[in-house]
Amino acid sequence: MDTPETWAESGARVHFVKVEGLEPGDALSPGEAARYSTFRMEKRRREWLAGRLAAKTLLAGAGGAPRAGFEIDSDSLGRPCCGAALLSISHSNGWALAALKPGSSFLGADLEKIEDRHPAWYADYFHPSELKTPDPSEGTRLWAIKEALLKALGLGLMADPLDIETAGGIKFSGKALERYKEMGSPPFTVETRAYPAGFWTALAADRN
């Protein structure tokens, strides 16, 4: 997607960028430029930059405000934000995305490449009700949903992915349920798309 797109069910805007060949130009604030220079691994540096550029495209909007004026920080739960605007950023195998929904307090997006995985991966991260047999595409889609929700909860992999069950509607348990209740149990939507080609993207956002 060359330009940001609004996902109809949640109303969130999502922007994808390819990681390869990006340069920061004048898009980073002084603090972000300093952080960018500290990455030792080229892959990590490129992915971090791609996610920031995707997010800043969303923040700048159609008016084309200077992107360096938007500094991306973290909120109290460790989620990306710019001031009061909550963001979500993800990257995988040469692609990055950012998601933004004005006024949202529950937002998470995840991008995952479809690939074969060891049978133990399915046993470790999915309930039998979610996947009866290992399936690379469906397993990747469900994993992206779990990751998006854990990001929205501000937990990441501090919670067990089994704390989220996707069969027959989303069900939380353990740390995921505790955090969800702490956040006021906001109603939310989850959308998935088979995009880019060979990937699944999941987006979780509150209904407001």
Domains, the chain, in order of start with CATH, read: 5-206 (3.90.470.20)
Strand (E) or helix (H) holding 181: helix 174-182
Q: Quick one: pLDDT at residue 66?
A: 86
Q: What is the mean pLDDT of the chain?
A: 94
User: With DSSP H G I counted as helix, E B as strand and the rest as coil, what are the percentages for the chain, rounded to 5?
Assistant: 35, 25, 40
Q: Quick one: pLDDT at residue 2?
A: 64
Strand (E) or helix (H) holding 98: strand 95-100
pTM: 0.95
